[in-house]
Amino acid sequence: MTGKHLFIFGLGFSSQALAQRVKGDYASIGGTVRTEEKAARLREAGIDALVFDGESASDAVIAATRRATHIVQSIAPGTAGDPVIALLREALIGAENLEWIGYVSTVGVYGDHGGAWVDEATPPNPQSGRSVERVRAETEWQILGEERHVPVALFRLSGIYGPGRNALVQIAEGTARRLVKPGQVFNRIHVADIATAVAAGAAQKASGVFNVTDDEPGPPQDVVAFAAEIAGKPVPPAIDFETADLSPMARSFYGENKRVGNKRLAADLGVRLAYPTYREGIAALWKDGSWRG
**Residue 40, H or E segment:** helix 36-44
Query: How far is the C-alpha of 198 from the C-alpha of 21, rounded, in Å?
Result: 10
* 188-190 and 48-51 strand pairing: unpaired
Q: For 152-194, write each residue's pLDDT tens digit.
A: 999 999 999 999 999 999 999 999 999 999 999 999 999 999 9
Instruction: Kindly indicate the confidence band of residue 2, based on its pLDDT and cuts at 50, 70 and 90.
Output: low
Q: For 120-153, write each residue's pLDDT tens digit.
A: 999 999 999 999 999 999 999 999 999 999 999 9
Q: What is the CATH number of the domain that holds 136?
A: 3.40.50.720
**Residue range 110-114: mean pLDDT, rounded:** 97
Phi, psi for 283 (deg, rounded to 5): -60, -40
Q: Is residue 285 part of a domain?
A: no
Q: Is residue 249 part of a domain?
A: no
| Closest alpha carbon to 220 in 159, 286, 276 | 159
Q: Is residue 20 part of a domain?
A: yes
| Distance (Å) of CA 213 to CA 114, 195, 223, 251, 259 | 18, 12, 15, 22, 10
Q: Is residue 289 part of a domain?
A: no
Query: How far is the C-alpha of 241 from the C-alpha of 3, rounded, in Å?
Result: 53
Q: Is residue 21 part of a domain?
A: yes
Q: For 79-93, write each residue's pLDDT tens digit.
A: 999 999 999 999 999
Q: For 11-55, write each residue's pLDDT tens digit.
A: 999 999 999 999 999 999 999 999 999 999 999 999 999 999 999
Q: Is residue 86 part of a domain?
A: yes
Q: Is residue 64 part of a domain?
A: yes
| Closest alpha carbon to 237 in 218, 226, 221, 253 | 221
Three-state SS string over 85-97 comes to: HHHHHHHHHCCCC
Query: How far is the C-alpha of 282 from the C-alpha of 246, rounded, in Å?
Result: 25
Q: Is residue 137 part of a domain?
A: yes
**Count: domains in the chain:** 1
Q: For 200-257, write each residue's pLDDT tens digit.
A: 999 999 999 999 999 999 999 999 999 999 999 999 999 999 999 999 988 988 999 9
Q: Is the pLDDT of residue 1 over 80?
A: no
**Full domain range(s) for residue 114:** 5-165+188-217+258-275
